[in-house]
């Protein structure tokens, strides 16, 4: 009986030591990971008044029939470390879609906001989150997750960036295949016999971003 009690006592001590030591170690690791993430850069808030995304679309067989306009960022941030981009994210206000030619009577904005395209009533925002940065010989490539209409896909695009007096100026060009985000209106991939009414699957986004501390 005494041997059994001794064994039980020893087991209780081992279990107590295991859990007692394990918990602080886990908390220490979590704290270290959090500190490391925060140390990756300084936050610069995107100036939504000075930043703009220019979009461009066209008919597949008539490049002269090109549609150009703007959409604006509602909030976002860039992470900068040693004058280099390390991360960031932005929320795009899809209700802000505008057409470049203000005098045009055939502006496609209403159609772009409809379910045929971005279905803004149901999906009022789009987002992009930077997931990685690749720098080679002065060229910077951004990897990110782009969410449109509730659908997320990875994207990659080049970026040019400079910092002057605490202000970040960045520009980039992203081309996507709209059908990956469920925008299939008059796409030659999904509809036959569209002929000259086929809309190109590619949409260009030219980003001009200004961010400040």
- Domain count across the chain: 2
pLDDT in tens, 172-212: 999 999 999 999 998 988 876 666 678 999 999 999 999 99
Say whether both 19 and 96 belong to one domain. Answer: no
pLDDT in tens, 26-45: 343 333 332 333 337 899 99
d(CA 129, CA 78): 10
Say whether both 52 and 102 belong to one domain. Answer: yes
The lowest-confidence range among 16-20, 160-164, 196-200 is 16-20
CATH code: domain of residue 163: 2.40.128.110
The per-residue pLDDT for 7 is 45
Say whether both 140 and 189 belong to one domain. Answer: yes
Say whether both 34 and 89 belong to one domain. Answer: no
Say whether both 181 and 87 belong to one domain. Answer: yes
Question: Does residue 13 register a pLDDT over 70?
Answer: no
Say whether both 66 and 147 belong to one domain. Answer: yes
d(CA 105, CA 60): 22
Say whether both 69 and 146 belong to one domain. Answer: yes
Average pLDDT, the chain: 82
Say whether both 153 and 65 belong to one domain. Answer: yes
Say whether both 34 and 123 belong to one domain. Answer: no
Say whether both 187 and 137 belong to one domain. Answer: yes
Say whether both 89 and 18 belong to one domain. Answer: no
CA distance readout (Å), 140 to 61, 137, 157, 160, 172: 33, 8, 9, 7, 10
Say whether both 112 and 14 belong to one domain. Answer: no
pTM over 0.85: no
Q: Whole domain around residue 12: which residue ranges?
A: 1-39
Cross-strand pairs, 168:
163, 211
């Amino acid at each position: 009986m005494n041997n059994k009690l001794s064994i039980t006592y020893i087991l209780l001590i081992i279990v107590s030591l295991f859990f007692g030591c394990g918990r602080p170690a886990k908390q220490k690791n979590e704290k270290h990971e959090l500190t490391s993430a925060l140390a990756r850069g300084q936050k610069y808030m995107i100036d939504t008044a000075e930043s703009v995304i220019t979009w461009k679309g066209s008919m597949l067989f008539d490049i002269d029939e090109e549609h150009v306009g703007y959409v604006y960022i509602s909030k976002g941030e860039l992470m900068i470390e040693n004058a280099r981009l390390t991360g960031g994210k932005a929320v795009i206000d899809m209700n802000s879609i505008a057409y470049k030619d203000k005098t045009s009577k055939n502006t496609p904005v209403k159609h772009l906001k409809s379910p045929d395209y971005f279905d803004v009533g149901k999906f009022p925002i789009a987002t992009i989150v930077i997931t990685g940065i690749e720098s080679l010989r002065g060229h910077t490539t951004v990897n990110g997750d782009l969410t449109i209409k509730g659908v997320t896909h990875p994207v990659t695009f080049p970026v040019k960036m400079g910092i002057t007096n605490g202000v970040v100026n960045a520009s980039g060009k992203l081309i996507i295949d709209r059908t990956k985000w469920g925008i299939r209106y008059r796409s030659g991939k999904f509809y036959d016999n569209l002929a000259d009414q086929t809309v190109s699957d590619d949409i260009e986004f030219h980003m001009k971003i200004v961010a400040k501390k």
